Amino acid sequence: MKDEDVSLRPIGVFDSGLGGLTVVRELSAAMPGEDIVYLGDSARVPYGTKSLETIRRFALEDAAFLLRFSPKMIVVACNSATAAAAEVLRACLPVDVVDVIRPSAEEAARHGAGPIGVIGTEATVASGAYERALAELAPGRAVSAVACPLLVPIVEEGRDESDPIVTHVLCDYLRDLQRLRPEVLILGCTHYPLLAGAIGKLMGPGTLLVNSGQAAAREAKRRLAARGLFNARQGPAAVKCFTTDNPRRFAAVARRFGAGRIERVAYVGTDELEAQGLPQRDASGVGTAASGTVYCS
Amino acid sequence: MKDEDVSLRPIGVFDSGLGGLTVVRELSAAMPGEDIVYLGDSARVPYGTKSLETIRRFALEDAAFLLRFSPKMIVVACNSATAAAAEVLRACLPVDVVDVIRPSAEEAARHGAGPIGVIGTEATVASGAYERALAELAPGRAVSAVACPLLVPIVEEGRDESDPIVTHVLCDYLRDLQRLRPEVLILGCTHYPLLAGAIGKLMGPGTLLVNSGQAAAREAKRRLAARGLFNARQGPAAVKCFTTDNPRRFAAVARRFGAGRIERVAYVGTDELEAQGLPQRDASGVGTAASGTVYCS
């Protein structure tokens, strides 16, 4: 296939559920001519409370599904999936992989010289992925990462920033970070941009919020342009979605995430995802790491 | 196999994750001589925010896995799975099935004559399963069901009743039920007994709380005794657990759920659950109901 044809291929995007649609919004804003195929694994959402081994297997299955559409690039629109699987995805997939952690860490490193805060899911924080990236990109700066497990279910429930429960929960999670007064706070989960107003108010004007979806969209555009694969068409491009749970509910809730021009939402079962072969499964050792038995007495 | 052998078989129990361990606790308390095999589908938890079609497929996979241990009975220790799949499980499985909804509704119906409240997951409440059971068992009594999606993640996060966030969230969900002043409130999710103290305080002494796990354990014991399959041995019996996510985390958190004598926790992958045949899959029409495409423009 010639290069001019490759530029017309879609960008594949996947997430554990709906949160990644905030990344689709940023991709569409930055590159209105790019077609997008999105997979939201709503039947197994959330990823962020699960073990890194399980998330890794799910992420490989999601990516393998997107390969059916011959994407020119795959965007991992989920911080938990990035934390668990970015490396193995890069090793296994035959296309360029953009994740949401590295670009956010680069953006944070460019801003100021003071402490950096990170909020994310249990899995993202437990992985230490942001600390590792920032140790390389912003050596010597204090980094403090806080897990906020209730924020994903709060956003998925439809609560917005005017809800007192949202304020109570954010105050609880952000207390230590408020004392740290970071120059930058990375919103290390693609659900969190929907709470950015309330988070910004609590942290104050001295803290810059980094939206991991925005950072990833800029990185995706830069890489496509560098490889001559950018589709400069002015759109409107197509956003096609797949979900592993009910497409009707997905379509109804998707609007809140501002993903724009979604053309259609189709169902694909997790049984189908699990049954397809994984890219280079043997090489990655996936599916064995979480196994074993714990004896309790 | 002779009847005396059947009584020695284990009781199979499954849940979306850890919540069902509160049911194991009640089963062990009521029947200390019964061996239990438990499957917690922690890789796909929660079920309660997903569509009834998806939950139905997962529940059938979970039950099919338990059949490997030749159980004398299967207890569906999850209200969402009961709401979605109790009927199809009864139709498909070759063993007696005890669920958590019918016994709770019976217990509520026996108490008083005033209004009945129900709290549960989105899926349980949306299914109308409690309303249907109570219309038959307690005709004429007002029933009010409220979905409380944040309570499962709050319990799984390890927050307890002393936590102000728990109080804020409970006040928010229970506001309308407090006005209704029900004589009975059914805790229609197996996670909720861990918050029973706080819920009882908010509802006041005029409201009896029904623990769906306790009700199911009594029903299981009654049925085993009626069929001469009750194992009267005084124990200690074995509780063997399987989880679809990390067994180490499962074992660590299981203690909080008070399930007692867990002997070991072993891993079984969701890929293995999805790959096994479903009991009478064709007859149930499972796996097709959630499919289809929604066109958005």
Asked if B50 has any chain A CB less than 8 Å from its own CB, the reply is yes
Asked if A158 has any chain B CB less than 8 Å from its own CB, the reply is no
Asked if A54 has any chain B CB less than 8 Å from its own CB, the reply is yes
Chain A residues within 8 A of B251 when measuring between CB atoms: 294, 296
Measured CA to CA, the distance from residue A194 to residue B230 in angstroms comes to 54
Catalytic residues of A: 78, 189
Examine the domain organization and report whether A223 and A256 are in the same domain: yes
pLDDT band with cut points at 50, 70 and 90 for residue B277: confident
Q: What percent of chain A has pLDDT over 70?
A: 93
Measured CA to CA, the distance from residue B200 to residue B177 in angstroms comes to 12
Exposed, middle or buried by CB within 10 Å (0-12, 13-18, 19+), for A21?
buried
Widest pairwise Cα distance in chain B: 64
Examine the domain organization and report whether A74 and A158 are in the same domain: no
Residue A245 lies in a domain: yes
Window B:219-258, CB contacts with A under 8 Å: 244-251
Among B184, B212, B240, give the residue marking a domain's end. B212
Nearest CA in chain B to A42: B50
Q: What percent of chain B has pLDDT over 90?
A: 81
Q: Judge whether residue B226 has pLDDT over 90.
A: yes
Nearest CA in chain A to B276: A271
Residue B289 lies in a domain: no
Q: What is the pLDDT of residues B46-96, one digit of tens each?
A: 999 999 999 999 999 999 999 999 999 999 999 999 999 999 999 999 999
Average pLDDT over residues A199-205: 98
Residue with tokens 């304020």: A167
Q: Judge whether residue A286 has pLDDT over 90.
A: no
Among B212, B235, B265, give the residue marking a domain's end. B212
Domain enclosing residue A73, as ranges: 8-99+215-279
Q: Closest partner residue to B291 among A267, A270, A296, by Cβ?
A: A267
Q: Closest partner residue to A266 among B150, B275, B293, by Cβ?
A: B293
Residue A3 lies in a domain: no
Q: Judge whether residue A4 has pLDDT over 60.
A: no
B interface mutation test: which of A21, A38, A56, A246 has the most B CBs within 10 A?
Answer: A246
Give B285 or B143, the one with higher predicted confidence: B143
Examine the domain organization and report whether A196 and A236 are in the same domain: no
Residue B285 has a pLDDT of 41
B interface mutation test: which of A267, A272, A297 has the most B CBs within 10 A?
Answer: A267
Measured CA to CA, the distance from residue A92 to residue B75 in angstroms comes to 41
Residue B257 lies in a domain: yes
Q: What percent of chain A has pLDDT over 90?
A: 81
pLDDT band with cut points at 50, 70 and 90 for residue B189: very high
Strands in chain A per DSSP E? 11-15, 36-40, 73-76, 96-98, 116-120, 143-147, 184-188, 208-211, 239-243, 262-267, 293-295
Examine the domain organization and report whether A129 and A28 are in the same domain: no
Residue A284 has a pLDDT of 44
Tokens of B81: 């799975």
Residue A236 has a pLDDT of 77
Rg (alpha carbons) of chain B, rounded to whole number: 19
Close Cβ partners of B297 (under 8 Å, ≥ 6 residues apart): A261, A263
Q: Judge whether residue A282 has pLDDT over 60.
A: no
Write the CATH number for B119: 3.40.50.1860
Contact status, residue A173 vs residue A151, Cβ threshold 8 Å? yes
| Contact criterion met (CB < 8 Å) for B51 and A245 | yes
Chain A residues within 8 A of B47 when measuring between CB atoms: none
Chain B residues within 8 A of A191 when measuring between CB atoms: none
Q: Closest partner residue to A153 among B43, B153, B292, by Cβ?
A: B153
CA quadruple A30, A149, A80, A238: dihedral positive or negative? negative
Residue with tokens 């994903």: A152
| Contact criterion met (CB < 8 Å) for A153 and B149 | yes
Examine the domain organization and report whether A221 and A197 are in the same domain: no
Examine the domain organization and report whether A224 and A179 are in the same domain: no
Examine the domain organization and report whether A39 and A20 are in the same domain: yes
Examine the domain organization and report whether B70 and B9 are in the same domain: yes
Give A283 or A113, the one with higher predicted confidence: A113
Among B163, B182, B212, give the residue marking a domain's end. B212
Domain count, chain B: 2
The answer to whether the predicted template modeling score (pTM) of the entire model surpasses 0.80 is yes
Chain B residues within 8 A of A173 when measuring between CB atoms: none
Examine the domain organization and report whether A146 and A83 are in the same domain: no
Q: Judge whether residue B31 has pLDDT over 60.
A: yes
B interface mutation test: which of A62, A270, A297 has the most B CBs within 10 A?
Answer: A270
| Contact criterion met (CB < 8 Å) for B49 and A153 | yes
Q: Closest partner residue to A54 among B43, B53, B57, by Cβ?
A: B43
pLDDT band with cut points at 50, 70 and 90 for residue A283: very low
Chain A residues within 8 A of B248 when measuring between CB atoms: 294
Average pLDDT over residues B247-265: 85
| Contact criterion met (CB < 8 Å) for A292 and B172 | no
Examine the domain organization and report whether A138 and A189 are in the same domain: yes
Examine the domain organization and report whether B131 and B48 are in the same domain: no
Bridge partners (DSSP) of residue A38 are A13, A241
| Contact criterion met (CB < 8 Å) for A244 and B54 | yes
Complex ipTM:
0.90
Average pLDDT over residues B201-206: 97
Exposed, middle or buried by CB within 10 Å (0-12, 13-18, 19+), for B103?
buried
Q: Judge whether residue A181 has pLDDT over 60.
A: yes
Asked if A160 has any chain B CB less than 8 Å from its own CB, the reply is no
Q: Closest partner residue to A294 among B264, B269, B293, by Cβ?
A: B264
| Contact criterion met (CB < 8 Å) for B43 and A44 | yes
Q: Judge whether residue A224 has pLDDT over 50.
A: yes
Q: Judge whether residue B290 has pLDDT over 70.
A: no
Residue B282 has a pLDDT of 42
Bond before B236 cis per omega within 30 degrees: yes
Examine the domain organization and report whether A93 and A229 are in the same domain: yes
Q: Judge whether residue A291 has pLDDT over 60.
A: no
pLDDT band with cut points at 50, 70 and 90 for residue A256: confident
Nearest CA in chain A to B268: A291
pLDDT band with cut points at 50, 70 and 90 for residue A276: confident
Average pLDDT over residues A243-272: 89
